[in-house]
Amino acid sequence: MLQYEGIRYCCYDDADCSIEGGKHIAARLMREHPDTDGILAIRDRVAIGLLYGLSELGKKVPEDISIIGKDNSKLCEVSNPPLTALDTQLRDCIIMGIHLLMDTLNHRTTTHRLLLDMNLVERKTL
């Protein structure tokens, strides 16, 4: 268990980034840290697996535990309940990366530094 600014947290980086991986992590998390009240998942599909897995364990989202995904994919809108997610603006990041690469290949001066904001898209899991 780690701690940052008074908040205890743990990271599970050995799970498959899939719905099944999320279900597996839900069971493991509740077994190892049953007092967990919030989860930030690395991908929306993992977060949806967490939703399914927690539901199978009798946990209610968001009443018992909050979940935030990361991608803000279309899956967020069709999950039950609809998934709150960080919108990483991946499309914009890719386009800016391509422009940076093309400038570099064409010997144009670049800053080689990009900063993109993430937006929290609130739905029903927070």
pLDDT in tens, the chain (126 residues): 788 888 888 888 888 999 999 999 999 999 999 999 999 998 999 999 999 999 999 999 999 999 999 989 999 999 999 999 999 887 777 788 888 888 888 988 876 666 777 899 999 999
Nearest of 108, 64, 67, 114 to residue 86 by alpha carbon = 67
> Domain for residue 96, yes or no?
no
> Domain for residue 123, yes or no?
no
CATH code, domain with 77: 3.40.50.2300
Domain count, the chain: 1
Residue 67 φ/ψ, nearest 5 degrees: -135, 135
Residue 13, domain extent: 2-88
